């Protein structure tokens, strides 16, 4: 009787141990970028083309007019606190000039200037033309004040990030988010982009150098990146279950040792 009971407990222990082993198994995590580049050789990749973003309605612009006499341009540079669009987060206020629904910006002293559809470089020249009516040799600076991208999923710091310049790549955004975690799928990063009211969705493989020449390598305003979790994440979430199995197996081992001595 004891022999049969011992064999049954040993069989149960073997089954539980097998469950523990297989539940902890996960495919090898692809944690390396650009695996197709040989570290011993130089590989030339055609770089992605960067296209300057165009000013759109609801954008918030930082506009500065500098002259020889700072006091003279003080009225122009009294930047208002523009209410941020809903996409920027409730209750947020960003210092800058809001582009209204007609594509115009109202600048003190200079009046209403249409900037929608222009790059910041072109907008600078338009504003400079207006400023020349009141100031001698003005210097104009125009930048986006609410240029942001969002990084979600398996990254260290998922959030929306306001970027300091217009030329931001997918690697820049991931770096700002603290890099992809060990559980993230680097070979299956989802990019969501809104163009003319429509959502464009594309998947990018960061383990291959081809992404460096992708038309989606450089991000646009309000782009969203989502790093999908891999099977390793599921295995990690089952750690508590595996710990329980380990305790159960240890208890059974002690029980078997006691029974075999009877």
Indicate the domain borders of the chain.
2-26+240-260, 60-144, 148-229
Just give the CATH number of 148-229: 3.10.560.10
**Can you tell me the distance from the alpha carbon of 211 to that of 219, in angstroms, rounded to the nearest whole number?**
12
* Rg of the chain (C-alpha set): 29
* Intrachain domains 60-144 and 148-229 with the same fold: no
Phi, psi of 169 (to 5 degrees): -100, 170
Let me know if domain 60-144 sits in CATH 3.30.1950.10.
Answer: yes
**Can you tell me the distance from the alpha carbon of 217 to that of 171, in angstroms, rounded to the nearest whole number?**
8
pLDDT by position in tens, the chain (length 262): 455 445 455 555 555 555 555 444 444 446 788 888 876 677 777 789 999 999 999 999 999 999 888 777 777 777 676 655 544 444 456 789 999 999 999 998 899 999 999 999 999 999 999 999 999 899 999 999 989 999 999 999 999 999 988 899 999 999 999 999 999 999 999 999 988 788 999 999 999 999 999 999 999 999 999 999 987 666 555 555 666 767 766 666 666 666 666 6
DSSP H or E run through 160: strand 159-162
């Amino acid at each position: 009787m004891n022999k049969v009971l011992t064999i049954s407990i040993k069989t149960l222990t073997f089954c539980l141990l097998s469950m523990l082993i297989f539940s902890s198994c996960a495919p090898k995590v692809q944690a390396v970028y650009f695996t197709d580049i040989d570290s011993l050789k130089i590989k030339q990749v055609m770089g992605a083309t960067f296209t300057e973003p165009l000013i759109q309605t609801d954008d918030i612009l930082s506009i500065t007019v500098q002259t020889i006499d700072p006091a003279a341009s003080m009225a122009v540079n009294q930047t208002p606190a523009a209410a941020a669009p809903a996409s920027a987060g409730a209750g947020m206020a960003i210092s800058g000039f809001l582009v209204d629904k007609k594509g115009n910006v109202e600048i003190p002293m200079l009046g209403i200037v249409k900037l929608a559809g222009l790059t910041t470089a072109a907008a600078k020249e338009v504003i400079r033309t207006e400023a020349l009516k009141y100031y001698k040799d003005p210097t104009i600076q125009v930048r986006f004040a609410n240029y942001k991208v969002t990084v979600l999923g398996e990254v260290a710091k998922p959030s929306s990030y306001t970027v300091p310049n217009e030329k931001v790549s997918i690697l820049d955004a991931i770096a700002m988010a603290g890099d992809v975690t060990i559980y993230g799928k680097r070979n299956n990063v989802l990019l969501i982009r809104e163009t003319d009211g429509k959502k464009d969705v594309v998947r990018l493989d960061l383990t291959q150098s081809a992404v460096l020449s992708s038309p989606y390598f450089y991000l646009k305003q309000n782009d969203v990146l989502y790093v999908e979790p891999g099977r390793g994440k599921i295995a990690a979430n089952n750690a508590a279950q595996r710990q329980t199995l380990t305790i159960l197996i240890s208890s059974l081992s002690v029980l078997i040792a006691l029974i075999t001595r009877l």
